[in-house]
Amino acid sequence: MFQQGNYKQAKTQVQQALSAEPNEPLVYAMAASLSYIEKDFNSMNSYAQKTRELGENLTKTNPLRGNIYTAAGHFLEGANIIAKEGTAKGAPQAVSKLRVVFQYLEAADKIAPNDPELNLIKGYMDLMLAKNLPFSNPNEAIQRLEQKASPRYLAYRGVAVGYRDLKKYDRALEFANKSLAETPNNPEVLYLKGQILFSQSQGKDGNKTLLEEARKNFDAALAKPDQLPRSLVAEIFFQQCRNP
């Protein structure tokens, strides 16, 4: 799902993994994420709860990963509340969940502050919060992903997103290219690069070279529509149409 940007294949493999590894919380977290993308919020809630429960059980034998996935489960439950009830109605419950998330992440951080799995998950959580909460910014997430997270192609993608949101497009492009060096055919990363190039081009007079490069990346991403969720294909197509 993350390395190849193939969500259709990933869904099949996640279902297989749920049967083969029923006590692995990561699998349920991925299933919850896929359900969120598909707007299947009832399934998402079930998978999020299972992520949390397995994380709690895992703390007895593996405190680091147990705390990581207990936090992830609470985070996914909070996201489900917002998705189902809307920000205005769901915010109080989601904020309460967020406090618990931070508690478990801090516990994991005390055990192994340089753990790549912890830093990848926390880095992406922080990016999401920075985009949606006015008092947050992605600088700490960028630093965490750049220095401590793994796998690198996914960490680089997150750094590129963070710099994009800060409007530091040169740095964003640098890390999008680093991610593409390891996953050259990933349509999501190609789309991200196209977004960055398009934003770079939006000067006073525009930059035709950058616009053309953006279009090439949008086209490359749209060349694999069967791999991506429909909502993302529609988003890429809309972005392409904005590119003169």
Model confidence pLDDT, tens digit, residues 5-15: 999 999 999 99
More confident residue, 195 or 89: 195
More confident residue, 96 or 119: 119
At 53, the amino acid letter reads E
* Alpha-carbon span 165 to 169, nearest angstrom: 9
Q: Average pLDDT, stretch 134-142?
A: 82
* Alpha-carbon span 35 to 40, nearest angstrom: 5
At 159, the amino acid letter reads V
Domain boundaries 1-113, corresponding CATH code: 1.25.40
User: Residue 133: pLDDT above 80?
Assistant: no
Q: Average pLDDT, stretch 156-173?
A: 96
* Alpha-carbon span 74 to 194, nearest angstrom: 33
- pLDDT at res. 202: 85
Q: Average pLDDT, stretch 143-159?
A: 96
Helix segments in 112-168, DSSP class H: 116-132, 139-148, 152-165
User: Residue 186: pLDDT above 60?
Assistant: yes
User: Residue 135: pLDDT above 70?
Assistant: no
0.85 exceeded by the pTM?
Answer: yes
- pLDDT at res. 134: 65
* Alpha-carbon span 20 to 178, nearest angstrom: 33
User: Residue 242: pLDDT above 90?
Assistant: no
Q: Nearest to residue 80, comparing CAs of 44, 125, 31?
A: 44
- pLDDT at res. 105: 97
User: Residue 204: pLDDT above 60?
Assistant: no
Q: Average pLDDT, stretch 45-64?
A: 97
The three-state (H, E, C) secondary structure of 155-179, written as one string = HHHHHHHHHHHCCCHHHHHHHHHHH
Q: What is the mean pLDDT of the chain?
A: 92
Q: Where are the domains of the chain?
A: 1-113
- pLDDT at res. 20: 97
